[in-house]
Amino acid sequence: MRNIRIVVEYDGTDFHGWQYQSHCRSVQGTLQEAVHRITSENIVVEGAGRTDTGVHARGQVANFKINHAIAEGRIALALNAVLPTDVRVISAQEAPDTFHARFSARERRYRYRITPMPAALQRHYCWFYPHAMNWEAMQAACAELIGEKNFKSFCLSETVLPHYQCDVKSAVWLMENDVHVFEIRANRFLHNMVRGIVGTMIMIGRGRLKPGDIATILAKAHRRHAGFNAPPHGLCLEEVIY
């Protein structure tokens, strides 16, 4: 059996997230259907990150196992020929049998984009937020996120996990073409974690919280102490690192 590793980009606007759901459109389900169409095999596509409804990906990594003899160099072409236009396979290659898109990953990198001006062409990929912000305070708050910490306060409250530890390698606010970009890199992310962090950062930028409050929020380990979830459409999974 062949283990195929693919890099995928998708516009999450019309998807109900990555994970397969029988009653609605998902990225995982769409990819599985495409693989079935070119191989006639029923497979499971494993993704490195389970993006939420409306969240995009530029560098999602996935893998699946097939018996079909299709040439490695034709896999991406064949999949793109049957996939809808809001999902593209950037590359496809055979991987060792032990490779797993999710469990083999060392880090994921996300970006959240905020624009202070309404943008017609970027309306699905940037959150329009016109209010004045203290970006220096928001940048200072990034330092409180770095390191291996309990991020339960930024996780969907109904989520039950063995642990909520995440090792954040970097967190920074950038400016690109008049768009404010929050970039964060970690070994793993919890459900709604990045959106919860961005919403809390907004409260810091508006003066409702202080940069040092991040440490207090983390220590309390409950979702009610953090800020709101920023809208999903500003978030994009940029890269998975192995």
Q: Which pair of tokens denotes residue 226?
A: 């953090």
Q: Annotate the chain with DSSP letters as a single string.
A: -EEEEEEEEE-GGGSS-SS--TTS--HHHHHHHHHHHHH------EES--PPTT-EEEEEEEEEEE-----GGGHHHHHHHHS-TTEEEEEEEEE-TT--TTTT--EEEEEEEEESS--STTTTTSEE--S---HHHHHHHHGGG-EEEE-GGGS-TT---S--EEEEEEEEEEEETTEEEEEEEES---TTHHHHHHHHHHHHHTTSS-TTHHHHHHHHT-GGGS-PPPPGGGEEEEEEE-
- Neighbour count for residue 59 (Cβ, 10 Å): 18
- CA-to-CA distance for 111 and 92, rounded, in angstroms? 24
Choosing from 11, 52, 167, 213, the catalytic residue is: 52
Cβ-count burial 157-176 (b if 16+ within 10 Å, e if not): eeeeeeebebebbebebeee
Residue 167 is among the residues annotated as catalytic for this protein: no
Catalytic residues: 52
